[in-house]
Amino acid sequence: MQLQRSLLALLIGASAALSGCQNVNTDSLMQSGMMAMKAATLSDAEIKQVADEACAKQDAEAQIAPASSPYTQRLDKIAAALGNPLTGTPINYKVYLTDDINAFAMANGCVRVYSGLMDLMNDNEVEGVLGHEIGHVALGHIKKATQAAYGVAAARTAASAAGNSTVAALSQSQLGEIGEALVNAQFSQSQESAADDYSFDLLKKRGIPLEGLATAFDKLAKLSGGQESSMFDSHPGSQQRADHIRQRIASGK
């Protein structure tokens, strides 16, 4: 109990510092602190609820390719080849019509691919990238990223609702913050490497050629800097990751 009180005090202090205002509403600040503390204990169901709302917010602000689009038809083919390795979580694929090069997945099975990435890569390369993004979900990386994004959004914006229904109390601005954080999530070197290996293993299990995962990283390595995508801020670097995949292909493991 003492630890919880101390944590709450620290979170409230952090919220006050972020607010930059001396006339802080104590009730709102307390609620913000409670939301930040809640972030560390979000259940799987609550994580998926946050993802449902954050993904819907992203979809509402994007231009989505219709079912008749060649992009959607191509993605449907790729999705069928990959199958669904997420036990108990249906995967929902859509294409965002934008020149940006990115793809992301959320804990609720929301997977979004940018048309710019599909223009850059062939089907096998897109399969490798999506295997990687799904890997972040399957390995729990997205859950941790969602908890972190939820906590930051709560600390920056005092909640308007009281009680324990903190997930339901998310504002549109908070959902926007969380969604953007997940779209551009930065993962650790070990998480990125684990997701690469997950994609390799998934492709191999599904009988999909493995080379596309390596050549996808080759293409990312050749692109110029300054892109606003987590794909260009990866650690280890894209070429090192391509080399790792080729080593696994050569070893047969």
Which residues are known catalytic residues?
133
Sheet holding 92-96, edge to edge: 92-96, 110-114, 103-105
Determine phi and psi for 96, rounding to 5 degrees.
-90, 125
The residues pairing with 103 across neighbouring beta strands, listed in sequence order, are: 113
The residues pairing with 114 across neighbouring beta strands, listed in sequence order, are: 96
Contact predicate 223/203, CB 8 Å: no
Distance CA 163, CA 77 (A): 45
Best CA proximity match to 154, nearest among 3, 19, 253, 4:
19
**Which amino acid is present at 213?**
L
Best CA proximity match to 10, nearest among 36, 38, 41:
36
Distance CA 138, CA 189 (A): 17
**C-alpha dihedral sign at 166, 92, 138, 145:** negative
What are the CA-CA distances from residue 119 to residues 85, 133, 228 (Å)?
26, 18, 17
